[in-house]
Chains A and B, each alone.
Chain A
Amino acid sequence: MTIPKVVHEDSGAVESIYLRSFKPRLMDWQAAQVFAMKNLRIAIRYPANFLIWGILPLLWYAPYILMMIAIAGPGTSQHFTELSGFQDFVTFSIIAVFVYQYVDKSIWSVGNNFRWEQFSGTLEPLFVTPVPRISILVGAAFSDTLQCTFSACVLLVISSMLFGVTYAFTMVAPIVVMLTMMVFALYGFSFLIAGLILVFKDPSVLTELISNITYVLSPITYPIQALPSAARYAAVLVPSTVAIITIRELAITGLFEPISFFQASILMLVLIIGFWTIGILAFRWGENWTKERGSMGGF
């Protein structure tokens, strides 16, 4: 099969049908989907990834649960109940750890993907295609979110069996909405990190710092009231804080309060717009910076 060609009568030059119908787009969803599928296909061809998805998250948070049990005894303490308003801190923390899986993955996903493409030697070929950069960024983020969904669900199921915790599954719909908004907000953050990675190649100190600050500010294994007052204000600017608090309320109490959910959604929308604007601008700056120095494919 050969793609039909158009021959210009005046010059005799050959032009493909593709070129004739080509129109630049701001966002190419097909490209994002294709990129995500490609990443998933490659991911499942590394069998060790199944261990990372299934077991590693469990090993990561188990020490926190054990520490809490060792300090306060099984289930709860009076101080914890007064501070958080919840009875059982294992139930309280497992749902937050589930949400934080998405936080951690979303922050690193695009940057890690670009770093991997750079190491593989495939970043430059991607950048000579006429695909909008944002589509590649979103595609990279999608694939990691799907992988994360698998690992977060494994974590939730195993934890529920191990620790006997239960959640209100009737609240799945609002939880998914809130989770999706949080993930989208964090994508913007991830674009920023991808831009930094293009520039600094391995900005491990900077991104580790960002990741750890997000971890500390997100009320995962403690209620937000446990943070110092100044840190509490900063915590509100981190999308995971709003999402964890809202999802925890929904999953544990099983009560849907439209007004507080609406307020949380508005705040999350503001964060999405802010993070995406900063993220895309930072990525564009990073791309131009590397093009000026000719270091796009460099390590």
Chain B
Amino acid sequence: MNEYAVEISDLSKTFISIRRRAIVIPVERTRVEALKSVTLNIPKGQIYGLLGPNGAGKTTLIKCLATLVLPTSGTARVNGYDVLKESTYARASMGVCQGNERSIYWKLSARENMIFFAKLYRMPHDEARERADDLLGRMGLLEKANEKVENLSHGMRMKIVFARALLHDPPILLLDEPTQGLDPTFATDLRRFIRDELHDRTILLTTHYMHEADLLCDKIALINEGELKSLGTPKELKEEVRNYDSLHMKVVGSPDIESIRAMDMVMTATSTERNGHSELVVTAEDGYELAYRLLNIMHQTPGVKVEHFEVKEPTLDDVFLKLTGRRIED
């Protein structure tokens, strides 16, 4: 018996868009490599996180596995089934939750939505209803079961979208940003559900919330510009920057990021500007020494004033920064 629930081998996807003149004459061909030879094997019963910024290729990878996008090259197997050649079996083996509240019927009630999708998995009506009520109950939505989806809150809709993925009790779950845009209470509820109730499933979870990946995942794959940069447990990944401190500094004005990067002790440095403020994240072996030297430079720079600074333990974002030179939330 194969030990992997999901096997991805050298998977690539290139999107080609053609700009045409007069509808038919191609004038420009743009190639976007959304996935570049991705190889990833997920053992049964493990939760793997796919962490990366927007546009990193997370959703494309999920869609290739969900048989919604055809890969350009490489292979992918879900529950042992090739997603191209045995796509029906692959689809029957997985539940897919895309973080989109519009992916259920707003004119139907929560229960009607669940029963409809359950019947597409060939459940008889009574069983479909029982299963729908069970899942809605576990999501804390049983009281709202007869309410039309259009009258429910965003968080409740997302819970229905999530519960739908579990209707046929699939051994494999593909969760694409399941908590995106949820308020903290709903997001915490969903994370608790994933951690406590789905521990016997194989889950591939995409997220750009580092703490979510840190909390839920057995292993995390960092992805950027279609390439897997690193794979390991959250602890292993943080080990990669164990010897570094991360200095977070909030300043008024725009400090010269290039001169900071040029400092001999600086490993990485990024700056994000918002409303006249800059948020600097700089890594170095000794965060306190770095803070001392940086504060001196800032004091001497006209128009720049330090409002707040803090030396932090390394996070997954720091790992990502070290590997890619950019932050996950960029």
Contact = CB atoms under 8 A, between A and B. Distances in A.
A124 B68 contact: yes
Nearest to A21: B122
A1 B130 contact: yes
A51 interface: no
Q: Which 8 A-B residue pairings sit nearest by Cβ, starting from the closest?
A: A121-B102, A16-B169, A130-B92, A24-B88, A13-B44, A3-B169, A130-B91, A34-B119
Contact of A130 (B88, B98, B134): B88
A120 B105 contact: yes
9 contacts: A16-B171, A34-B116, A38-B116, A122-B102, A129-B91, A288-B70, A291-B67, A291-B69, A294-B69
Given A15-B171, A294-B15, 4 more contacts: A8-B1, A30-B122, A128-B68, A294-B34
B96 A128 contact: yes
Interface string A261-299: 000000000000000000000000000100111101100
Report which residue of B94, B103, B130 has the largest number of chain A beta carbons within 10 angstroms of its beta carbon.
B103
B284 to A, nearest CB: 41
Contacts of A45: 107
Interface in B33-69: 34, 44-45, 60, 63, 66-69
A34 B120 CA distance: 7
Q: How large is the interface on B (under 10, 10 to 19, 20 to 34, 35 or more residues)?
A: 35 or more
Interface in A27-58: 28, 30-31, 34-35, 38, 41-42, 45-46
Given A122-B102, A294-B63, A13 B117 contact: no
B201 interface: yes
A60 interface: no
Interface string A88-101: 00000000000000
B105 A38 contact: yes
Given A30-B122, A293-B15, A22 B89 contact: yes
B3 interface: yes
Nearest to B84: A291
A46 B98 CA distance: 27
A122 B170 contact: no
Contact of B171 (A1, A13, A128): A13
A19 B92 contact: yes
A18 B168 contact: yes
Contacts of A78: none
A294 B60 contact: yes
A126 B164 CA distance: 11
Contacts of B88: 24, 130, 132
Contact of A13 (B1, B60, B69, B123): B1
B200 interface: yes
Interface of B: 1-3, 5, 13, 15-16, 34, 44-45, 60, 63, 66-70, 79, 88-89, 91-94, 96, 98, 100, 102-108, 112, 116-117, 119-123, 130-131, 133-134, 164, 168-171, 200-201
Nearest to A120: B102
B104 to A, nearest CB: 7
Contacts of A132: 88
Nearest to A2: B134
Interface of A: 1-3, 5, 8, 10-19, 22, 24, 28, 30-31, 34-35, 38, 41-42, 45-46, 120-122, 124-132, 288, 291-294, 296-297
A11 B44 contact: yes
Contact of B117 (A2, A16, A22, A129): A129
Report which residue of A126, A129, A296 has the largest number of chain B beta carbons within 10 angstroms of its beta carbon.
A129
Contact of A31 (B3, B91, B107, B120): B120
A15 B168 CA distance: 10
A35 B104 CA distance: 14
Contacts of B168: 3, 16, 18-19
Report which residue of A19, A35, A127 has the largest number of chain B beta carbons within 10 angstroms of its beta carbon.
A19
B56 to A, nearest CB: 15
A80 to B, nearest CB: 44
A269 B199 CA distance: 54
Contacts of B94: 128
Nearest to A117: B105
Nearest to A39: B105
B68 A296 contact: yes
Contacts of A13: 1, 5, 44-45, 171
A22 B171 CA distance: 14
A28 B123 CA distance: 12
Contacts of B171: 13-16, 19
A19 B2 CA distance: 17
B120 A14 contact: no
A72 to B, nearest CB: 44
